Structure 1
Amino acid sequence: MNLLRALIRNHPLANVTFAVVLMLGVISYLTMPRAQDPEINFNWVGITTVLPGASAEDIERLVTNPLEDGIRGVADLRFVVSTSRENVSSILVRFREISAATFDKRVTDLRRELQNKANT
């Protein structure tokens, strides 16, 4: 109770006390031991392609559908979602829960499939 009265009467003391408590909190947070940091891997890839001057129907027929056909050949897919608009095709590819090394391999496979579709 006496500390509270002293802080109310003496504003600089209240500011210093606040700063000390804040610094102790920051130091405690920074020195807090961690058993392990979580591995964060969202396992998704976004693909955007542009065909200037094309209608949404042309984009879907000429770009989106062929790319989706190639993408579906890649292993460990969870889902593929696409949108076709004038001039732009957007495809979101989500993989299953796989390790980072496997994810890198699947992305390489995905790039290979996309290159094959682009060259045909």
Structure 2
Amino acid sequence: MHRLAKLSLANRSVVALITIIIAIFGLISVGGLKQELIPSFETPQAAIVTTYPGASPEVIDKQVSQPIEAAVRALDGLVTSSSTSQSNVSIVRVEFDYGTSTSKVKENLNAALASLTLPSEATAKVLSGSFDSVPVIALGVSANSGNNEAIGKVLEDTAAPLLASVPGVRDVSVSGVVEKRINLTLKQSVLTANGLTSQSITSALQ
């Protein structure tokens, strides 16, 4: 160590030159590094969302949530699972071992769903993703005239396809669009008198 210090002091100009060269190469290397605002990062988590129009929470739990959760618990690498049963909707959340790819999670869950026989009117969908799915840019638009319903149609028909055509854009979605909706309040006594159920009304309107 003493010899190295003595040698450095005796050749200070050479040591300074080597230090400058190393610093320059370091700056060049930093400039060439790939940088991302939101790096790609996959989380081994997913949710199975099943819609069953007209079904009560009890029916959802018995006929949808419990069978799905029982099927996913048999999958390799599963860490935890939980379910939420609400009117018309079942949500089963799952978490797999860290390092499991999103595509593998989705593949396993779809295989588990394929082995089940759910009610014919129930529709299940696997939702999984990574930080690649997080929107990088969010834009807010409003109409000066106050007609946000009309501008929503323009955004969906014109703006979204235009932005999606830009090179490097993976996906464009429009949310918060005002839509016309009709709410029906059914009288149970009238339904019973005519031999109908809320499910039959829902099916007739679809």
Query: Smaller-chain TM-score range?
Result: 0.5 to 0.7
Tell me whether 1:79 sits opposite 2:88 in the alignment: no
Please give the alpha-carbon distance, in whole angstroms, between the structure 1 residues aligned to 2:103 and 2:40: 15
Cα displacement (A) at 1:33: 5.0
The secondary structure found in structure 2 opposite 1:97 is coil
| Greater relative CO, 1 or 2 (CA 8 Å, sep 6+) | 1
CA shift, 1:35, in A, is: 7.3
Equivalent in the alignment of 2:54: 53
* TM-score (structure 2 length as normaliser): 0.38
| CA 1:33–1:78: 2 relative to 1, 3 Å | farther
* 1:116 Cα deviation after fit: 1.1
3-state SS of 2:80 partner: strand
Is 1:105 the counterpart of 2:104? The answer is yes
Q: Report runs of 4+ in structure 1 exceeding 6 Å deviation.
A: none
Aligned partner of 1:110: which letter? L
Deviation at 1:106, TM superposition (A): 3.8
Q: Letter of the aligned partner of 1:93 in structure 2?
A: V
Distance of aligned partners of 1:99 and 1:51 in 2 relative to their CA distance in 1, 3 Å threshold:
closer
Larger radius of gyration: 2
Q: For structure 1, list consecutive stretches of 5 or more residues without a partner in the other structure.
A: 1-30
Q: What secondary structure is seen at the aligned counterpart in 2 of 1:47?
A: strand
Query: How far apart, in 2, do the equivalents of 1:99 and 1:108 lie?
Result: 11
What secondary structure, in the 3-state scheme, does the structure 2 residue paired with 1:114 have? helix
Using the TM superposition, give the Cα deviation of residue 91 of structure 1 relative to its aligned residue in structure 2, in angstroms.
Answer: 1.1
Structure-2 separation of matches of 1:83 and 1:54: 14
Q: What residue ranges of structure 2 are gaps of 5+ in the alignment?
A: 1-29, 120-206
Structure 1 residues 79, 40: CA separation in 2 closer, same or farther (over 3 Å shift)?
A: same
CA distance in 1, matches of 2:82, 2:118: 23
Residue by residue, what CA displacement relative to the aligned partner does 1:86-117 show, whole Å, maximum 9, x if unpaired? 111011111111243xx533431221111111
Q: Which residue of 2 aligns with 1:94?
A: 95
Of all paired residues, the percent bearing the same amino acid is 30
**Contact 2:51–2:90 (CA<8 Å) still a contact in 1?**
yes
Partner of 2:113: 114
The whole-number CA distance in structure 1 between the counterparts of 2:93 and 2:45 is 7
Could you tell me how far 1:53 is from its partner in structure 2? 1.1
Q: TM-score, normalised by structure 1?
A: 0.62
CA RMSD of aligned residues (A): 2.5
Q: What is residue 176 of structure 2 aligned with on the other side?
A: none
